[in-house]
Structure 1
Amino acid sequence: MVLVTEDMIRQFQSMMEQIDEPLKRTFQNVHQGNPTETLVRFLKARDGNVAKAYKMLMDCLNWRITSEIDSILAKPIIPRDLYRGLRDSNLIGMSGYSKEGLPVIAIGVGLSTFDQASVHYYVQSHIQLNEYRDRVILPAASKKYGRHISTCIKVLDMTGLKLSALNHIKLMTVISTIDDLNYPEKTETYFIVNAPYIFSACWKVVRPLLQERTRKKVQVLSGNGKDELLKIMDYASLPHFCKREGSGSSKYSRNGTVDNCFSLDHSFHQQLYNYTIEQARLLERNVPIKQGSFHVDFPEPDPEDAKIAKTIESEFQKLGNQNGVCNSFRNVRINAD
């Protein structure tokens, strides 16, 4: 893993001092009072190459300006039933904090259907979650735990995973690319739980192709991962799909929506959604909130990632033929944000 030196940081800082004022303003929303730590993230994402890290950050800041990312938290998805549909079909939420204060983000990979709205709504919702995490959740965690916290933990539930899930690969690739290029190094560890055979077979192909820093972040746990996860978080912060015994849906829990961090009725999503409504009212006083998706520019995947994806496609084609199952894979990538 790359060692970021003081010389790298100073060189990067000197380059950032020369940027235009609009870029400086949006950079403030990115670093949230911690510019040095942000520069380190981008340096890590480009293996310590200052010139490449600078270009990456400039591309990110220009994307934010062009796509008006700074105001995306004032663009609520309405009506509320539409947002509920997004939550029911894109299973993601926050279940609590680790013992070190890192937010625990739960993702229901296997049972997400992405079939309730256009791609633009799913992308808008995903970016809003990223921005709310970076602008609200992480600063609050830093204050509560008395130290700078800039990363989260992700627990990925593979319950129900089928090869046909890759019908959603276009959307998954868009979201993954946005995270890779604009929110690098935001995840401390990925924990994989409830992994069926299909994941294990695919993981053997994917793992050697990942960059070392990404491989080190991924841990595949046995079963629902409860015993291992309890070493780093309290029971209350476990995602609901890690609390149940045996197999079952990651969508629901015995306690209904109270414990289901994917649901709009969960406190995290209630707070996030209400936050966007309030920000919209502050931004546009006495103006009705309009319905409509928030379109952003979709960046092109990194050439190296495209090369990796082509290799994965070929290997997955072989796997599909061997198992007599769907073999229409087009592109797969592990998000290394």
Structure 2
Amino acid sequence: MGMVSEDAINQFSALMEEVEEPLKKTFQNVHQGYPRETYTRFLKAREWNVQKAHKMLVDSLNWRVQNDIDNILTKPILPADLYRAVRDSQLIGVSGYSREGLPVYAIGVGQSSLDKASVHCYVQSHIQMNEYRDRVILPTQTKKHGRHISTCIKVLDMTGLKLSALSQIKLLTIISTIDDLNYPEKTSTYYVVNVPYVFSACWKVVKPLLQERTRKKVQVLSGSGRDELLQIMDYASLPHFCRKESGSSRHSGHGTENCYSLDHPFHQELYSYMKRQASVVEPVEPIKQGSFHVDLPEPAPEGAIIAETIESEMHKYHKQNAVDSLDKLKITDD
């Protein structure tokens, strides 16, 4: 595979020499001085098919130009109360770093309501965190550790996952599609913790639908996953919901400990960074309030099938739960 990979990267690089200047400019923001590694990411996402990987990257660069993604970090969500509402309902943050220097993203899948702002606000916030990761956090870690760091770790907290989560599937599929098409191979491992039975039931059915390279990245841990995660990161970098043997609390800990909170250092740094960038770009005009609209992609067929499967399995699970509850009630009455 080594020779094939080298040949594929060289072919890819030659093709990229022919793209137009606007795409070359935005490509610099994508590769951050490491074009070869970027070619490798897109090749992996297309099973080392050079033509498909080239089309994927060019499509992504066109998306960036058409949606002004290069300037998205100059467009903070305003007013601050709206951004706080986004942070309180789209539970995600950086809790620290692994011992290898990879940023640790904590995501409250089960308790994110995604109902306090528009779809565009949530999409904008997600892309901003992606861009901040790729343009600020990862280059900083690369410099600090003296080697290229291009991926992160994600810890997914499933506490509170229930039928109401189905209302979020459309938005989550949009966000997942944006990541798949434009930020491939940016997560090295997904650790899933605080798993309720409903997730286990869905996972058994969804797992075979995932591509093999994605399946290999997912590790479902027991309880809060604390002991396993401490093997790759220090206690200070554990997400707040992993610091106990089991269980979680949406707002556990103070603002500086709860990495979802706008008061956490990560979100304070990110928000301050965007406001500074905005003041540099538009020092005279007031910064516009409201969300920055990005074209929302159509989910890939595989993504749509996975979303439908999850929806079906959750309905089945809750329907069976309702039947079991009725049976218990009848037994009690008898």
Classify the TM-score, shorter chain: over 0.9
Local SS of the residue matching 2:95: strand
Q: Which moved more, 1:242-251 or 1:111-120?
A: 242-251
> Could you tell me how far 1:163 is from its partner in structure 2?
2.0
1:186-245 deviation digits (Å, cap 9, x = unpaired) = 000000011011111111111111110000000000100000000000000000000134
Aligned: 1:257 with 2:221: no
Q: 2: CA distance between counterparts of 1:237 and 1:30?
A: 27
Given residue 24 of structure 1, which amino acid in structure 2 is its aligned partner?
Answer: K
> Could you tell me how far 1:137 is from its partner in structure 2?
0.2
Report what 2:207 is aligned to. 207
> Could you tell me how far 1:14 is from its partner in structure 2?
0.5
Contact preservation (8 Å) 1:240, 1:250:
no
Q: Which runs of 5+ in 1 are unaligned?
A: 326-337
Greater helix content = 2
Given residue 263 of structure 2, which amino acid in structure 1 is its aligned partner?
Answer: D
Aligned: 1:121 with 2:118: no
Report what 1:222 is aligned to. 222
Q: 2: CA distance between counterparts of 1:49 and 1:316?
A: 36
Q: 2: CA distance between counterparts of 1:3 and 1:258?
A: 48
Q: Which runs of 5+ in 2 are unaligned?
A: 324-334
> Could you tell me how far 1:155 is from its partner in structure 2?
0.3
Q: 1: CA distance between counterparts of 2:269 and 2:217?
A: 29
Given residue 229 of structure 2, which amino acid in structure 1 is its aligned partner?
Answer: L
> Could you tell me how far 1:164 is from its partner in structure 2?
1.5
Contact preservation (8 Å) 1:90, 1:112:
yes
Contact preservation (8 Å) 1:4, 1:44:
no
Local SS of the residue matching 1:5: helix
Contact preservation (8 Å) 1:157, 1:250:
no
Q: 2: CA distance between counterparts of 1:145 and 1:132?
A: 19
- CA 1:320 to 1:308, structure 2 compared with 1: closer, same or farther past 3 Å? same
- TM-score scaled by length of structure 1: 0.92
Report what 1:97 is aligned to. 97
1:256-289 deviation digits (Å, cap 9, x = unpaired) = 1121100011100000000000000000122211
- CA 1:263 to 1:313, structure 2 compared with 1: closer, same or farther past 3 Å? closer
Aligned: 1:298 with 2:307: no
Report what 2:332 is aligned to. none
Report what 1:280 is aligned to. 278
- TM-score scaled by length of structure 2: 0.93
> Could you tell me how far 1:97 is from its partner in structure 2?
0.4
1:295-324 deviation digits (Å, cap 9, x = unpaired) = 001111123333444455555544443333
Contact preservation (8 Å) 1:4, 1:40:
no
Contact preservation (8 Å) 1:174, 1:298:
yes
Count of equivalent residues: 323
Match 1:322 to one of 317, 320, 323 = 320
- CA 1:4 to 1:46, structure 2 compared with 1: closer, same or farther past 3 Å? farther
- CA 1:196 to 1:307, structure 2 compared with 1: closer, same or farther past 3 Å? closer
Contact preservation (8 Å) 2:173, 2:307:
no
Report what 2:20 is aligned to. 20
Report what 1:267 is aligned to. 265
Given residue 240 of structure 1, which amino acid in structure 2 is its aligned partner?
Answer: H
- CA 1:293 to 1:4, structure 2 compared with 1: closer, same or farther past 3 Å? farther
Given residue 238 of structure 1, which amino acid in structure 2 is its aligned partner?
Answer: L
- CA 1:259 to 1:3, structure 2 compared with 1: closer, same or farther past 3 Å? farther
Q: 2: CA distance between counterparts of 1:224 and 1:119?
A: 30
Contact preservation (8 Å) 1:160, 1:249:
no
> Could you tell me how far 1:32 is from its partner in structure 2?
0.5
> Could you tell me how far 1:4 is from its partner in structure 2?
6.3
Q: 2: CA distance between counterparts of 1:30 and 1:186?
A: 12
Report what 1:45 is aligned to. 45
Report what 1:78 is aligned to. 78
- CA 1:241 to 1:308, structure 2 compared with 1: closer, same or farther past 3 Å? closer
Q: 2: CA distance between counterparts of 1:199 and 1:213?
A: 21
Report what 1:237 is aligned to. 237
Contact preservation (8 Å) 1:240, 1:261:
yes
1:54-84 deviation digits (Å, cap 9, x = unpaired) = 1110110000011110000000111111111
- CA 1:221 to 1:230, structure 2 compared with 1: closer, same or farther past 3 Å? same
Local SS of the residue matching 1:164: helix
Q: 1: CA distance between counterparts of 2:195 and 2:223?
A: 7
